[in-house]
Structure 1
Amino acid sequence: MSFASLILALVTLQRLGELVLSRRNTERLLAQGAIEVGAGHYPFIVLLHAGWLTALWIWGRNQDVNLAALAAFVALQGLRLWILAALGPRWTTRIIVLPGAPLIASGPYRYFPHPNYAVVVAEIALLSLALHLPVLALIFTVLNCAVLAVRIRAESRALSVSDWPRISTP
């Protein structure tokens, strides 16, 4: 197995693990009375990420690895973990709103409104560049930004509904 294949296997396992965690958290939140918002664009997010990973496996599995880009990608995993810790059981890959629940304003959310999306944009570019695939980095970064433009609008609307009282946590 090449070093690039090992990296791709680890990232693929990470993403699959996150889908399991997301499903579990989504089910718990829905059982507590939460609602999903903006579900119509979710299949495009899944398709985009599956397409990106598939493309990396097809064209990147035997590439040499750019260690600087890989190091930056690995550093982003620390931010990803910080985001997961800050959101805890409210982290999902969907937009799930629990009416009356406080907005998360701790961890990276204290400094930036959508840190997870910034991390994902950087991850898509950096892992592609780590495998010397600049065209894939460009294509999937542009596609991801287009999907995120829709998603961030939907999420911002969902979190600003005035009849859902909430407070910020310290």
Structure 2
Amino acid sequence: MLFGIVISIVILQRLIELFIARRNEKWMKSQGAFEAGATHYPFMVGLHILFFISLLTEVLFFNRELSLIWPFLLAIFLVTQLLRIWCLSSLGKFWNTKIIVLPNAQVVRKGPYKWIRHPNYIIVATELLVLPLLFNAFFTAVLFTLLNCWMMTVRIPTEEKALKEATNYTKEFLLNK
């Protein structure tokens, strides 16, 4: 029961985020933005779709029960959702699931971005680990944590390169440590 509720809410949340991302992409591109990393984006989307398929399969097929420490794991998951909203609202129209960069834009240095460069990636990594652990889906937790780590070795350098070349990113994040 709890699994169905949680997974439905998370999938609905992701669909809403895709709608927001498309709207933001359209606005940014109308302002002269460009996309970086388009070649790896389908793999990232596939990773996330396969995550949900794996989670659903592992929990339902193997009759996984709630973890004994589910209140703790659920609390972590709920905090990550609040942090996710904070990230999205801090970036506003600049938030996207793709790497969309508006040349000469001032990078966002508010919210969690005041302290760390990629807070949303930390949140996603936490979700990919905690959500399966909440339901004892250990295979999904380990596999997709590793796959996400691999994806971030591609995504973060691609994003940083685009931001360094087109915005004040170097000045804001790399020189002001």
Q: TM-score range, shorter-chain basis?
A: over 0.9
In the other structure, the counterpart of 2:48 is 49
CA displacement at 1:164 relative to structure 2: 4.4
* Normalised TM-score (structure 1): 0.92
1:69-104 CA-partner distances (Å, limit 9, x unpaired): 121111111110110111001100000110111011
In the other structure, the counterpart of 1:124 is 128
Letter in 1 for 2:43: F
Q: Which runs of 4+ in 1 moved over 4 A?
A: 163-168
Question: How far apart are the structure 2 equivalents of 1:98 and 1:60?
Answer: 41
In the alignment, structure 1 residue 17 sits paired with structure 2 residue 20: no
Residue 164 to residue 108, structure 1, CA distance change in 2 (3 Å): closer
In the alignment, structure 1 residue 64 sits paired with structure 2 residue 68: no
Question: How far apart are the structure 1 equivalents of 2:167 and 2:118?
Answer: 20
Question: How far apart are the structure 1 equivalents of 2:168 and 2:51?
Answer: 38
Question: How far apart are the structure 2 equivalents of 1:165 and 1:120?
Answer: 25
Letter in 2 for 1:27: K
* Structural mapping, 1:6-155, within 5 Å: 6-61=5-60, 63-65=64-66, 66-155=70-159
In the other structure, the counterpart of 1:159 is 163
Letter in 2 for 1:4: F
CA contact (8 A) 1:73 1:127 kept: yes
CA contact (8 A) 2:107 2:167 kept: no
Aligned CA-pair RMSD: 1.5
CA displacement at 1:165 relative to structure 2: 5.3
Question: How far apart are the structure 2 equivalents of 1:28 and 1:60?
Answer: 39
CA contact (8 A) 1:121 1:144 kept: yes
CA contact (8 A) 1:5 1:57 kept: no
Question: How far apart are the structure 1 equivalents of 2:85 and 2:168?
Answer: 28
SS in 1 for 2:10: helix
* Normalised TM-score (structure 2): 0.89
Question: How far apart are the structure 2 equivalents of 1:139 and 1:160?
Answer: 32
Question: How far apart are the structure 2 equivalents of 1:104 and 1:60?
Answer: 39
CA contact (8 A) 2:73 2:133 kept: yes
